[in-house]
Structure 1
């Protein structure tokens, strides 16, 4: 299951590979992206930290990453942003990025 990231627990994304989905409940493409993120979180559990940031609840985190459009998916490796995509992406598209970053 995807982690719900907040400013209080966000530091855990600084180790290894982390995938952060910036989303909101009112966003249609975000609701399409959600099940894909959940599926990846399940399949990569224990290997990759995968979670979500509700931009309405965590405005500071969204601003910190310059999120202007959602969904925005940020890929961090050892605390550094190594990739970022905006808009809906299929499981295959996200897995291609994961394979490249692992």
Structure 2
């Protein structure tokens, strides 16, 4: 078996690097599409869960936000909706931005 010439080795390495780069780009594009879909689903889950919160519960959560007790507000929202920590945090931060 004949050994590769130095130019041949560099050519093979450049080709492998190029193919790896293109695969990475394709994977990243798919990930962005999947991420956008996931965010849309999360927003839908939040809307569904907070639709059943009473006015009294919202007042309590708003009071906590005014008092800068964000963690307590997230906890109260979790207890009221059954949402997970991430979605509860997102919902509280959205509410905080609106007020």
TM bin, normalised by shorter chain, reads under 0.3
Q: TM-score, normalised by structure 1?
A: 0.23
Structure scoring higher RCO (CA < 8 A, sep ≥ 6) equals 1
Higher strand share: 1
TM-score by length of 2: 0.23
The structure richer in helix per residue is: 2
Instruction: Say which one has the larger Rg.
Output: 2
